Chain A
Amino acid sequence: MYKILAKTLFVGRKLHYLPSCHSTNDIASELLAQKKATEGTLIITDDQIAGRGQRGNAWESVPYQNVTLSVVLLPNFLHPKDQFLMTMMISVALIDLLCAFLPDGLRIKWPNDIYYYDRKIAGILIESAIQQEDIESTIIGIGLNVNQSQFITPNAISLFQITNRQFHLEGIISRLCETMEKRYLELKGGDWTTLKSTYSKSLYRLNQVHRFQSTEAFTGKIRGVEDTGKICIEVNGKILTFDFKEVKFIA
């Protein structure tokens, strides 16, 4: 069981703890359907049996070692076309949380992975329910590698592997609730400029010359993202924009 002592108004005030479950996002979705979840409700598990990444990808986590949780938000103030701001909000909140432990090397790998240098320390899965043009609810699933010492996934890394110290999960979750609420209220309050610029300047490989794969391989520099979330890459002095499916990073 978790005691979350976050200094927040709503994020983490209501908590559902499951010793083990398939996926916290699925539980959050069930709770919403049963009207048992309100804004800020957290769903935490110690053993996520079938943690999900993007469409069919699995999320690897050893029981009791990491943060695997979902939070329910009701961003009905956003039009679905602006929902990339939710990606920005949670990515920046994770950077806010982690920079207290990792003073350098933290980056957002577009669109929503948190990297420590070239390795992934946290992943995000955002699922929303939309009717006509209204976002009815959003479930943000977060997997943060904390105390796990070994990974099968080749480019994964944990806080323990970087700092060589063990962390209390409760403390990390409490702090995450606080950074998340702060950034979410910033978004809700209409301060999109701060969020966009903080997200953009934290981008992995920003302003560096790298190889990318689109219909063909090319060399370019990431310059930022559009409001839609499309990435802007400068190629031969021209800015080109790409959808998530249209471009890949080449190591």
Chain B
Amino acid sequence: MKAKEIQDLIDFIAKSGLNEVNIETEEFKIKVRKNADAKIVEYAPTAPIATSQPPTTKNETPVETPTPPKEEVDNKNYVIIKSPMIGTFYRSSNPESESFVKVGDQISVGETVCIIEAMKLFNEIESEVSGTIVKVLCENSTPVEYEQDLFLVDPA
């Protein structure tokens, strides 16, 4: 199951008003639980996923990518960094510079992960968690809504 599909599912559940949803198929088991100030997603693949991480990150962090024991893969609690405002999502501080973060990067609390520009106000969005970037959920230089999901983070 792709991160985008997980996102769509979470959005769907969020709109449904349900507080907890468990879905189990042959391929995966997913549990989404909602509470007042945090959304915890538990995603446990029952079958091995062939392309869990893009190859580029393997080159950069070869030590960390070997598949860990199966028990550790299960019950991942991913955290989502959301947009605090309506605006335009930028992954770097200016068009020439590198992205603040990439998939596979370790981030710490307070680290800038992106810029959201709204009405010529430039906002560096800082992470509220430390962990590893699992997925970037928005395209660079595209509009984002209030509370739209920006990054999927595997908390440390």
A131 within 8 A of B: yes
Residues from chain B with Cβ under 8 Å of A130 in the complex: 84-85, 116, 123-126
B25 within 8 A of A: no
CB of B94 within 8 A of CB of A132, answer no
Residues from chain B with Cβ under 8 Å of A243 in the complex: 119
Bitwise interface map of B from 18 to 54 toward A, beta carbon under 8 Å scored 1, else 0:
0000000000000000000000000000000000000
Chain A's interface: helix, strand, loop or mixed, by majority?
mixed
Q: How far is the CB of A200 from chain B (nearest CB, A)?
A: 15
Residues from chain A with Cβ under 8 Å of B120 in the complex: 54, 87, 111-112, 126, 244
> When the two chains form the complex, which single residue of A56, A127, A131, A229 contacts B118, counting CB atoms closer than 8 Å?
A229
Interface size on A, residues (CB 8 A): 28
Given known pairs A55-B94, A55-B95, the reply for A132 and B119 (CB within 8 Å) is no
Closest to A52 in B: B94
A125 to B125: give the CA distance in the assembly, Å: 17
A80 within 8 A of B: yes
> When the two chains form the complex, which single residue of B110, B112, B118, B128 contacts A83, counting CB atoms closer than 8 Å?
B118
Q: How far is the CB of A227 from chain B (nearest CB, A)?
A: 11
CB of A132 within 8 A of CB of B117, answer no
A81 within 8 A of B: yes
Residues from chain B with Cβ under 8 Å of A128 in the complex: 121-124
**Number of contact residues on B: which range applies?**
20 to 34
B88 within 8 A of A: yes
A229 to B126: give the CA distance in the assembly, Å: 23
Interface residues in A125-177 by Cβ distance below 8 A to B read 125-133, 136
A84 within 8 A of B: yes
Closest to B94 in A: A56
CB of A244 within 8 A of CB of B119, answer yes
CB of B119 within 8 A of CB of A129, answer no
B residues apposed to A, CB below 8 Å: 84-86, 88, 90, 94-96, 110, 112, 116-128, 146
